[in-house]
Amino acid sequence: MADGDSMPPFANGTCIVGEYVETLDDLKKGKQYMFITTDGYTFKTFGKKNRKTLTVSADNTFYDSYDIALEDIVQIWRYVRGILPEDYKPYYLPEQTNLRSLIDEAKRSITNLENGILKINS
């Protein structure tokens, strides 16, 4: 079942149907997979295979890509279809790139303020 907001348009409670991936060579860049790891599971888009990790990303651009250690992977299932919950109602997230730029701008402003305070106190 899907949970969280990192993979729109899948809502909480969406049942993800997949096909078992036999080998890492079967992974295709830009395709969605369920990665079963020693820590749990995550539904992400495959980016690339590195020497000791796989780089994956969420479809929600608010979240950064990250790596999963190959040694932590138990199984991988390729996304085939999603079955939405009976009471599903679509929701629309705010413009993600605009939201991210606002957060980045706020971080820069805070850093500038901190640097200004440090200069005053020096």
Question: Which whole number is the average pLDDT over 68-91?
Answer: 84
Please write the tens of the pLDDT for every residue from 46-75: 999 999 999 999 877 778 899 999 999 999
pLDDT value for 14: 77
**One domain for residues 62 and 110:** no
Predicted local confidence at residue 63, as pLDDT: 82
Residues 75 and 122 in one domain: no
User: If you average pLDDT over every residue of the chain, what do you get?
Assistant: 83
pLDDT digits (tens, 9 = 90+) for 25-39: 999 999 999 999 999
CA distances from 41 to 2, 57, 69, 99 (A): 10, 14, 13, 27
Residue 107 and residue 85 share a domain: no
Residues 35 and 18: their CA atoms lie apart, in Å, by: 11
E strand map for the chain: 15-20, 32-37, 40-49, 53-57, 66-69, 73-83
CATH number at residue 6: 2.10.109.10
From CA 4, how far away is CA 39, in angstroms rounded? 17
Which positions ≥6 away from 75 have C-beta within 8 Å? Answer: 20, 21, 36
Does 41 share its domain with 9?
Answer: yes
For residue 70, what are the domain limits? Answer: 1-90
Alpha helix locations (H) across 3-95? Answer: none
What value does the mean pLDDT take over residues 92-103?
Answer: 66
Give residue-wise pLDDT tens across range 1-20.
Answer: 545 554 556 666 778 889 99
Q: What is the pTM of this model?
A: 0.65
**Does 77 share its domain with 98?**
no
Number of domains into which the chain is organized: 2
Q: Same domain, yes or no, for 5 and 37?
A: yes
